[in-house]
Structure 1
Amino acid sequence: MQQRDGIRGPVRLILAASVVAALAAQLTACSDDSSPSGTASKAASAASRAASAVSQAASAATEAGDALASATAEAGRKFDEFKSGVDAKDEVKLDGNPGPDSDGRATVKVTAANPTSAAKSYVVQVDFRDASGNLLDTTVVTVDGVPAGGSKDATARSNRSLTGDVKADVARAARH
């Protein structure tokens, strides 16, 4: 799975657009001031397109960062709402690597195993990361009514489309 909405793609696009803009500026500087050439006109057009691409890439990078900040804040709010929770990270497992759903969002099966003698609910924060360990997205899933001494499954789904080599891990989990 390749990263489409993360920050690395827009950064590459910004760098590529910057190179195109620099080359276009050099071509424009090489034209004869008294007789504008087709090459200079094409170079100016390419520079304009490159500047537009840089702007769009910067906007995409900002949106990706804002989406991640929003998801992280939402995860914090959900854990704050889960009163009197006990750390249960060791009671929650993920089933393999995430795969894309029909919308391109990364999904992974979450299993909560309840070692207590009463039914419990779990709140689990799942972080989605790229191959380098960079955080791409985070989500919170609630697993209600996990039977005493039993387990129950749920599905964690990223908030946006993620592609590339996506990994998932349990960032934190609480039992209530």
Structure 2
Amino acid sequence: MAARHRTRRATGGAALAPALSAVLAGCSGDESPADTARKAESAVGSIASEASEAVGSATAEAGQRLDAIRGGTDVKDDVRTGPLVTGSDGRARTEVTVRNTDDASRSFAVQVDFRDAGGRLVDTVIVTVDHVQTGHSATATARGTRDLPGEVRAEVARALRY
């Protein structure tokens, strides 16, 4: 079965706190890990602005959402990013490959940070990869949310298998 995947973007702005508060308030304790991951994607994807301070805030919120995935296992070592390319839209993108080393089919939530040449965080996205069979790998595309100036690199900030 082919793995499904989605990319959600995180940048921040003046609407950061109210937008995330609304999403976070709507989360119940009865969610499945997949529901929690999707809400993390939604929370991160609902924020849109260019302010670098807000990128850090969005990253913190994304981290909180990933922390809310119950039963998630840290698998950062099982995730790789490919070469960074710039699309015709001017946005950086990289392929994210997850490897399922568990003994059952699992899904993944991966936070990818884009950093400039000085190491400053300039963008963040969360990618999910659903239903990766045991012993298999699957890919998703992490795509930046805006044009990023100069040299940029992508790194896996966090990765959870659930």
**Distance in 1, Cα, partners of 2:65 & 2:127:** 9
Contact 2:110 2:158 in 1 (8 A): yes
Secondary structure of the residue aligned to 2:145 is strand
Counterpart pick for 1:164 among 147, 150, 161 = 150
Query: Where in structure 1 are there 5+ consecutive unaligned residues?
Result: 1-61
**Quick one: which amino acid aligns to residue 87 of structure 1?**
D
Identity of matched residues, %: 52
Structure number with the higher strand fraction is: 2
Tell me the equivalent position of 2:15.
none
Structure-to-structure mapping, 1:34-49, within 5 angstroms: none
Contact 2:111 2:157 in 1 (8 A): yes
Secondary structure of the residue aligned to 2:51 is helix
Contact 1:124 1:172 in 2 (8 A): yes
Normalising by structure 2, we get a TM-score of 0.64
**Distance in 2, Cα, partners of 1:126 & 1:90:** 13
* Highest RCO, 1 vs 2 (Cα 8 Å, sep ≥ 6): 2
Secondary structure of the residue aligned to 1:82 is coil
Displacement after TM superposition at 1:133 (Å): 0.9
Normalising by structure 1, we get a TM-score of 0.59
Tell me the equivalent position of 1:142.
128
Moved >3 Å (runs of 4+): none
Counterpart pick for 1:130 among 110, 113, 116 = 116
Secondary structure of the residue aligned to 1:133 is coil
Tell me the equivalent position of 1:71.
58
Larger Rg, first or second structure (1 or 2) = 1
Structure number with the higher helix fraction is: 1
Query: Where in structure 2 are there 5+ consecutive unaligned residues?
Result: 1-48
**Quick one: which amino acid aligns to residue 159 of structure 1?**
T
Mean alpha-carbon deviation: is it higher for 101-110 or for 111-120?
101-110
Q: How many residues align?
A: 114
